[in-house]
Structure 1
Amino acid sequence: MRSLVVTGPGTVEVQNVPRPSVGDDDILVRIRACGLCGSDGFYIARGGIPPREGATPLGHEAAGEVVEVGTRVTGIAVGAHVVVNPMAAPSGIIGNGGATGALSDYLLIEQAELGVSVALVPEHVPFAVAALNEPMAVARHAVNRVDPRPGDRVVIFGAGPIGLGAAISFRLRGAESVVVVDLIPERLETALQVGADAVIDSRTEDIVARLAELHGNAARRPGEVRPGTDIYLDAAGAPVVIQTILSAVKRGAKVGIVAVHKKPVEVDFGAILNNEVSIITASGYPTEIFEVTDDIAENWERYALLVSDEIPFDEIDRAIELATTPGAADKVVVTFD
């Protein structure tokens, strides 16, 4: 079978490797779609992941069809459509330094267990949409961490897949208002389509003033502007986002950070002390990997708006270039015939 492997800094190769053998406790999934993540570009640039530098299989946002089932596996049948929990693989995280990657024709799921390593997906859900399950779990964990209450007013910085997934989750949790901030008009349009109440173009609008218009002014001193926003979520990863949030946040607000910041960000804690701001970080999906699956199945047409490009595995080089070029695409999903 074919499998995409990092072979050195900045280089990948489609290798011919043996099709996995299925043990009694395993299943074999024919991959039908696999999303490209920002981390994939990072692994390619650095030449792999310890301890597999120079030989790292890629791909962890997988959806596919079960083609073989071990004799001791229950609840999973040949032909079932499934999404995969890459964290559950005994041989290491799939596509993240483990022995296997989902950018392959087939993926062995060792010690397969329904609800732990895989979840079933209805056949009406396109594989490219089902492949959003893993990044949407990241978004859902971020929302769970800030714990929105019905009636909360929310703003999300960054209208990439995680930010848009969070917007959908905030709506499902009963947020009164969801506002999305970005600087790419096409992304802002998608944000409105998936359920945001309003968007702010950070290139042309005063973010703080606009939020005060949308969420009211909760300032405690005359002449001050502090939007009545209850929850801020950073899904952008730019230092200016943190600076903007902390300069405007109202007393008692929550600031969630799910974006990966590649450089240190200076924070003046003295300036925010009196506002009793809660800064909450979110990483991965400790329990959420299959919490989002039913939502995707029920609302798949809304989630489909997040997929900007579907590119066949035969054109994997083009897919990687598109996914790793800033602003060139929103969500690239690699498809398999």
Structure 2
Amino acid sequence: MRLAMVTAPGQTAVVEVPTPSVGPRDILLKMRACGICGSDNMYIAIGGLPGLEGRTPLGHEPAGEVVEVGSEVSGIELGDHVVVNPMVAPSGIIGSGGTTGALADFLLIEDAVVGTSVAIVPKHIPFAVAALNEPMAVARHAVNRTEPKVGDLVVVFGAGPIGLGATIGYKSLGAASVVVVDIIPSRLEKALAVGADAVINSAEEDVVARLIEIHGAGPSRRGKAKPATDIFLDAAGAPSVVETALGAAKHGAKLGIVAVHKKPLPVDFGDLLGSEVTILLSMGYPTEIFEVTQDIIANWEKYALIVSDTFAFDDVDEALRVAATPGAADKVMVTFDN
């Protein structure tokens, strides 16, 4: 079978490897769709992960069809459509340092257990939408970390895939208003399409003033007007986001950070002390990998809008190039022929 992997710093190749053999507790998936993550680009840039330099398999956002079932596996049948928890693979994280990757014709799921390693999705859900399951679990964990209550007023900075997934998540959990902030008009249009109540173009508008217009005014502090926003979520990773959010936060507000910040940020905790802001960091998906599956099933048409570009596996090199080019695409999916 074919497998895409990192072969050197800045280089990838599709190589021929043996199709995995299925043990009694395993299943074999025919890959149908796999998303490309920003971390894939990082692995490529550095030449692969430690211990797998020059031979790091790629792909950890899979959706596939079951084509072989081990004799001891229960609850999974041939032809089932499934999404995968890449973190629990016995041979290492799928596509992120383990020995297998989902940018391949087939993917072996060892010790396959429904609800632990895989979840079954209805067959009317497009595979390219189902393959959003892993990154949307990241978004849902970020939402959960901020512990939203029904009726909360929320602002999400960044209308990329994680920000859009978080927007859907907050609305699903009962937020009264979700405002999305970005600088790219097409992303803001997509935010409205997935359910945002309002959007702000921070390149053209005063974010704090607009939030006060949309969410109303909260208690002022030291003579500064504050919006009534309850939760700020940074899904953008720009230094100005944290500065804006902390400067705008009313007493007791929450700031969640799911974006990756590549440089240290200065924070004046003396200035923040009286606001008693809660700062919550979010990484991965300790429990959310299949929690979010049900929301994708219920709202798949909204989630489908997150996919911006689709490439056939024959064009995986181009898919990786586009995904790595700033501003070229939002969520890139690789699909596989029947």
Give the TM-score normalised by structure 1: 0.99
Counterpart in the other structure of 2:186: 186
- Compute the displacement of 1:331 (Å): 0.5
User: Deviations for 1:294-319, whole angstroms, at most 9, x for unmatched residues?
Assistant: 11112111110000111101111111
Q: Which amino acid aligns with 1:50?
A: P
- Compute the displacement of 1:220 (Å): 2.7
- Compute the displacement of 1:265 (Å): 1.0
Counterpart in the other structure of 1:234: 234
Query: Counterpart of 1:226 in 2: which secondary structure?
Result: strand
1:79 and 2:94 equivalent?
Answer: no
Counterpart in the other structure of 2:307: 307
Q: Which amino acid aligns with 1:191?
A: A
Q: Which amino acid aligns with 2:29?
A: V
1:119 and 2:119 equivalent?
Answer: yes
Query: Counterpart of 2:128 in 1: which secondary structure?
Result: helix
Q: Which amino acid aligns with 2:292?
A: V
Q: Counterparts of 1:244-323 in structure 2 under 5 Å?
A: 244-323=244-323
State the aligned residue count: 337
- Compute the displacement of 1:215 (Å): 1.0
Query: Counterpart of 1:308 in 2: which secondary structure?
Result: strand
Query: Counterpart of 1:218 in 2: which secondary structure?
Result: strand
Counterpart in the other structure of 1:106: 106
**Which 10-residue stretch deviates more, 158-167 or 314-323?**
314-323
- Compute the displacement of 1:327 (Å): 1.1
Counterpart in the other structure of 1:89: 89
- Compute the displacement of 1:90 (Å): 0.4
Q: Counterparts of 1:38-187 in structure 2 under 5 Å?
A: 38-187=38-187
User: Deviations for 1:2-48, whole angstroms, at most 9, x for unmatched residues?
Assistant: 00010111000100000000000100000000000011001100111
- Compute the displacement of 1:271 (Å): 0.9
**Which 10-residue stretch deviates more, 319-328 or 89-98?**
319-328
Identity across aligned pairs (percent)? 67
CA gap of 1:2–1:266, structure 2 versus 1, over 3 A, is same
- Compute the displacement of 1:223 (Å): 4.6
Q: Which amino acid aligns with 1:85?
A: N
What is the Cα-based RMSD across aligned positions, in Å? 0.8
- Compute the displacement of 1:216 (Å): 1.2
- Compute the displacement of 1:55 (Å): 1.0
Query: Counterpart of 2:39 in 1: which secondary structure?
Result: helix
1:23 and 2:28 equivalent?
Answer: no
User: Deviations for 1:264-283, whole angstroms, at most 9, x for unmatched residues?
Assistant: 11111111010000000110
Distance in 2, Cα, partners of 1:77 & 1:329 = 36
Distance in 2, Cα, partners of 1:245 & 1:42 = 28
- Compute the displacement of 1:218 (Å): 1.4
Query: Counterpart of 1:23 in 2: which secondary structure?
Result: coil
Query: Counterpart of 1:97 in 2: which secondary structure?
Result: coil
Give ranges in structure 2 of 5+ residues lacking alignment.
none
- Compute the displacement of 1:221 (Å): 4.5
- Compute the displacement of 1:219 (Å): 3.5
Distance in 2, Cα, partners of 1:299 & 1:225 = 37
User: Deviations for 1:238-262, whole angstroms, at most 9, x for unmatched residues?
Assistant: 1111111111111100000000111
